[in-house]
């Protein structure tokens, strides 16, 4: 063999060796990629994309084809082959990863998202966690006691229908409905307490019992200031009488239950439960709709729902005792859960007087007046001749003939500033002081200004039998 032939032979041998090494490395890289791609294919993230199955099939097909075409060969141990193997393997992995990321098969982790572990939890722990979420639905002892409380009073809460006749030729019909409470039964009669505004303006009144029977009622007496009225009915169909409790020892947060007929007899006997939200709340009342407060009444505040038709119904405690007469609520769009009831301890003496005499006896002086702070400055100076230091009091508008004020010499435009040592700034102050601090027949001292000069007079209080809400 010539030298030229030897060089060609060696060159072919060297080239064959290089080809075999490259082919072997390529086959091995295909196998590694198969393992790597099979791992990616099985990850849960592939299930979150719409094209996951298609991508998995593509990877699997590529791997299978590579396995079919590959031929196992002996692996050279040289450094050159190791370098080529590492380089080619890294390139394949990088390209494959880029493709998978680009197609959305793999998603980059978001460092801002919370990591959720998916490790399996033992069944015992699952059972314990589940048991902590279970809420008992059985009736509580409180529910049972409330049912007992309701059973002691529910049949004593009745409907009250105000029957009105608009003219001579029309038939009488219910002008409105409310609620009432049977509080007493004796000598063939039963007595019902309700609100004055429930029966006001009616030609006649009917009481609707819980069984639906309608019984004609007699109005024994009404009191506008306290908004109370007492009715009398035949007791032949009465089955229950409410037990009167006490409002003196009530506490904020105690259970309060309202019973009545909201929106009429269709929802008769409705029960709402809440708590005592406040005590001795002072609420101003405009009794003659003139835009001025005529009286301030102290009431119980509750969040138990009190709706139109509940007026005159019962507010009871958890023992089923009557602690208040539902009277009013604040009806504003922005207000929710503020209702009021007349405390039973305040209502008892009024109820007794209405039952026995038909009216409430109160001390009376016989004037109508307006607050000084409502008088224009020009009249304070020219008509009343008041010094600028006189800023509070009531201005006498009229005195009734033969009344204590008339007898004591009080006149129109007199400015009353004190009764005894009590400063008077409004008619509400006057009434509250007389009704709460004095008695009929008592002598009082009145301090007043006439033509700018301070004077005093004394008078004896009489019984207020008939008076308008601006007169006392």
pLDDT at 61: 40
227 is catalytic: yes
Distances (CA, A) of 78 to 28, 82, 85: 16, 7, 11
CATH topology of domain 255-356: Thrombin, subunit H (2.40.10)
**Catalytic pick from 155, 179, 197, 270?**
197
Rounded Cα distance, 161 and 214, in Å: 9
Task: Kindly report, residue by residue over 293-343, the tens digit of the pLDDT.
Answer: 777 888 999 998 888 788 899 999 999 999 999 988 766 666 677 889 999
Domain with CATH 2.40.10.10 in the chain: 150-166+173-234, 255-356
Contact indicator for 341, 316 with CB cutoff of 8 Å: no
Low-confidence ranges of the chain (pLDDT < 50): 1-11, 13-14, 32, 35-77, 105, 109-141, 466-470
pLDDT at 399: 92
143 is catalytic: no
Domain with CATH 2.30.42.10 in the chain: 362-464
pLDDT at 227: 92
**Catalytic pick from 85, 154, 179, 227?**
227
Query: How many alpha carbons fall within 13 Å on the CB side of residue 389?
Result: 4
CATH topology of domain 362-464: Pdz3 Domain (2.30.42)
197 is catalytic: yes
Q: For residue 219, give both structure tokens.
A: 């109005």
**Catalytic pick from 311, 346, 368, 426?**
311
CATH for the 150-166+173-234 domain, from 2.60.40.10, 1.10.150.530, 2.30.110.10, 2.40.10.10 = 2.40.10.10
């Amino acid at each position: 063999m010539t030298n030229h032939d030897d060089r060609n032979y060696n060159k072919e041998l060297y080239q064959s060796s290089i080809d075999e090494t490259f082919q072997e490395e390529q086959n091995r890289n295909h196998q590694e990629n198969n393992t790597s791609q099979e791992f990616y294919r099985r990850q849960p993230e592939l299930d979150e994309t719409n094209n996951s199955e298609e991508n998995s099939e593509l990877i699997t097909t590529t791997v299978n084809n590579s396995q079919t075409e590959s031929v196992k060969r002996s692996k050279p141990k040289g450094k050159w082959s190791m370098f080529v193997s590492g380089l080619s393997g890294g390139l394949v992995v990088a390209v494959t990863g880029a493709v998978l990321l680009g197609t959305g098969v793999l998603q980059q982790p978001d460092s801002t998202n919370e990591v959720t572990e998916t490790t399996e939890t033992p069944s015992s722990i699952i059972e314990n966690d589940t048991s902590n979420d279970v809420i008992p639905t059985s009736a509580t002892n409180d529910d049972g006691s409330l049912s007992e409380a309701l059973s002691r009073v529910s049949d004593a809460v009745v409907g009250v229908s105000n029957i009105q006749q608009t003219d001579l030729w029309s038939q009488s019909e219910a002008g409105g409905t409310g609620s009432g409470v049977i509080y007493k039964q004796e000598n063939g009669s039963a007595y019902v307490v309700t609100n004055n505004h429930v029966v006001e303006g009616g030609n006649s009144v009917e009481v609707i019992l819980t069984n639906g029977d309608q019984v004609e009622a007699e109005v024994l007496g009404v009191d506008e200031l306290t908004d109370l009225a007492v009715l009398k009915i035949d007791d032949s169909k009465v089955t229950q009488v409410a037990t009167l409790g006490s409002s003196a020892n009530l506490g904020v947060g105690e259970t309060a239950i309202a019973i009545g007929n909201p929106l009429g007899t269709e929802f008769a006997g409705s029960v709402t439960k809440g708590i005592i939200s406040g005590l001795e709340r002072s609420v101003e009342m405009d009794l003659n709709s003139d835009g001025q407060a005529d009286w301030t009444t102290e009431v119980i505040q509750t969040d138990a729902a009190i709706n139109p038709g509940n007026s005159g119904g019962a507010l009871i405690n958890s023992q089923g005792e009557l602690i208040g007469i539902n009277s009013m609520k604040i009806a504003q769009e922005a207000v929710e859960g503020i209702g009021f009831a007349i405390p039973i301890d305040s209502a008892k003496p009024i109820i007794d007087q209405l039952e026995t005499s038909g009216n409430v006896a109160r001390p009376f002086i016989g004037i109508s007046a307006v607050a000084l702070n409502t008088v224009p400055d020009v009249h304070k100076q020219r008509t009343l001749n008041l010094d600028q230091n006189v800023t509070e009091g009531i201005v006498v508008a009229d005195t009734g003939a033969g009344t204590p004020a008339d007898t004591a010499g009080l006149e129109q435009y007199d400015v009353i500033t004190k009764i005894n040592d009590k400063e008077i700034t409004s008619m509400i102050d006057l009434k509250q002081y007389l009704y709460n601090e004095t008695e009929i027949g008592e002598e009082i001292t009145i301090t007043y200004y006439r033509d700018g000069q301070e004077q005093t007079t004394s008078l004896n209080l009489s019984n207020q039998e008939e008076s308008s809400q601006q007169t006392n």
